[in-house]
Structure 1
Amino acid sequence: MATTEDSADLTEECDECGQQTPHDVSVEILTESRKRENAEFSREPYRVSECLVCNTTTKLRMNNA
């Protein structure tokens, strides 16, 4: 389950395109545990960036605790 918190169009480097391209960037809360009993304790924020040219999506965990 993912929840979108914020979204905006930004220009940033795309590894796939090899140049600066517009991206849709959002913050999502993702559940990392596959065990049902631990799911409520394993939700972490991720920065999700999608290139609007090639549709490549990257996810970066924001909390490395």
Structure 2
Amino acid sequence: MAAIQKIGQLIQQRRDNMRITQKQLAEMADIGINTLYKIETGQANPTLESLQRITDVLGMEITLQVKKV
């Protein structure tokens, strides 16, 4: 699974667990609902700023790691 699809899936799962609609999350994160839909379905290449807004609302954290070789 591509990274962007995995990110979208994780966001959707967390949103569903918190019982927040796409519309509610989009409003709280101050992003467009179409943008959120595309992120969740792996159709968008979101900016780091958009991801940060979404993850802040959902209580998630973005981290980068060096790959283990």
Tell me the TM-score normalised to structure 2 length.
Answer: 0.24
Larger Rg: 1
Tell me the TM-score normalised to structure 1 length.
Answer: 0.25
More helix by share: 2
